[in-house]
Amino acid sequence: MDQLLQHALNAMILGGTYALLGIGLTLIFGIMRVVNFTHGEVYAFGAYMMYMFVMLIGANFIVSLVLAVVLGVMLGALIEIVLLRRLRGADIDTTMLVMIGAGIAMQNSEQLVWSGVAKSINSPFPSAPLVMGAVSVSWTRLFVFAVAVVLIAATYALIQKTRLGKSMRATFQDREAAALMGVRIDRVHTATFALGSGLAAAAGALLGPVFVVYPTIGDLASLKAFAIVILGGLGSIPGATIGGFILAFMEELGAGYVSSGYRDAMGFLLIIVILLVKPTGLFARKERIG
């Protein structure tokens, strides 16, 4: 029982960060139809910015977090304007190849700038964990979870309540009709990519102090994000949120009670099953094709 409680707690905390990663990608992948291979690298970028501000400059932890996210948003906007804007009419394969190239270039730049040696980021929270009976959790992870929940709620509100969010949803439903109704598609695309990238950078900046930072951390983050988006259904924020938690629980319980060697396989096994039953993912919205 103690073991089950600890597994459940681990999965909740992990799920929060998975959801954050998934939401960022579902916006980009779902709304813009860009198979975004830079997502994991923006995650790594966020973590390295956190390292730079906290460890090299000595800035306040929260201030550093905000700065890392802002820089992530700017990086996302830059990628969209420089690379994607001119590929607007291109087919999905061309865009995908460009994004794969951009991802590789970004990872190697990280290696060049920061070297391959892992960096650790000090967190201002006590290193002794919070103990509740037989289960325990670190304060840093609790903080990460809380911030993730706030960011997820804020993103959801932005999409549902603001004019920008309405434009995004309109563009996702029908690009041409939205353009005809006066939605500035270019601006929506830049904003969407920047927002999605900002969330990836936030996940990286939050998890940097929990884990250690090295140039290839983005690989696994990227893989999980794609899995979550496909699980939840393209473009669905509740889908990505719930997908993130489902993946975390599958991995945690699968590793805890079946076999840790198949920890990462568990999540993908579930995806195969869900896609067999519901090929559009759990929460895919209806969309107009053609």
Partner 1 sequence: MHTKTAKLALAMLGATLLAGTALAQETIKIGVTQPLTGAFAASGNYVAQGARIAEDEINAAGGVLGKKIQLVIEDNKSNPTEAVATVEKLIVRDKVPVIMGAWSSTLTLAVMPKLQEYKVPMVVETSSSGKITTSGNPYVFRISPTSEMEAVAFKPLVAKLGIKKADFLNTNNDFGIGSAAEYSKMLKGQGVAVGVMETMDPKATDFSAQLTRIKASGGDTLFVTTAVEQVTLILKQAKELQLNARIITTGGSNSPDQLIAQAGDAANGSFHTVFFPPWFPEVVTNPEPAKRYMTEWQKRGHEPGGLTEGFRGYDGIFTIAEAIKIAGKAEPAAIKDALWKTKVKGVYGNIEFIKQGPAGNESGQNIPSVYLVKIDGGKVAKSGL
Residues that bind partner 1 (CB under 8 A): 2-3, 6-7, 10, 13-14, 108, 111, 115-120, 127, 129, 131, 136-138, 141, 207, 211-212, 214-217, 219-220, 251-256, 260-261, 263-264
Q: Which of 222, 230, 78, 236 is nearest to 156 (CA)?
A: 236
Is 58 or 182 the residue whose CB approaches partner 1 more closely? 58
**Residue 30 CB, nearest approach to partner 1 (Å):** 26
**Residue 128 CB, nearest approach to partner 1 (Å):** 8
**Residue 185 CB, nearest approach to partner 1 (Å):** 37
**Residue 173 CB, nearest approach to partner 1 (Å):** 36
Q: Beta partners for 131?
A: 136
**Residue 53 CB, nearest approach to partner 1 (Å):** 18
Is 80 or 251 the residue whose CB approaches partner 1 more closely? 251
Q: How many CB atoms sit inside 10 A of residue 64's CB?
A: 23
DSSP symbols for 144-191: HHHHHHHHHHHHHHHHHHSHHHHHHHHHHH-HHHHHHTT--HHHHHHH
Buried b or exposed e, range 200-225, using 16+ CB within 10 angstroms: bbbbbbbbbbbeebbbebbeebbebb
Measured distance CA(278)–CA(16) in Å, rounded? 24
Is 185 or 255 the residue whose CB approaches partner 1 more closely? 255
Is 54 or 217 the residue whose CB approaches partner 1 more closely? 217
Within 13 Å, how many C-alpha atoms sit on residue 280's CB side?
A: 9
Is 10 or 197 the residue whose CB approaches partner 1 more closely? 10
Is 2 or 93 the residue whose CB approaches partner 1 more closely? 2
Q: How many CB atoms sit inside 10 A of residue 130's CB?
A: 13
**Residue 111 CB, nearest approach to partner 1 (Å):** 6
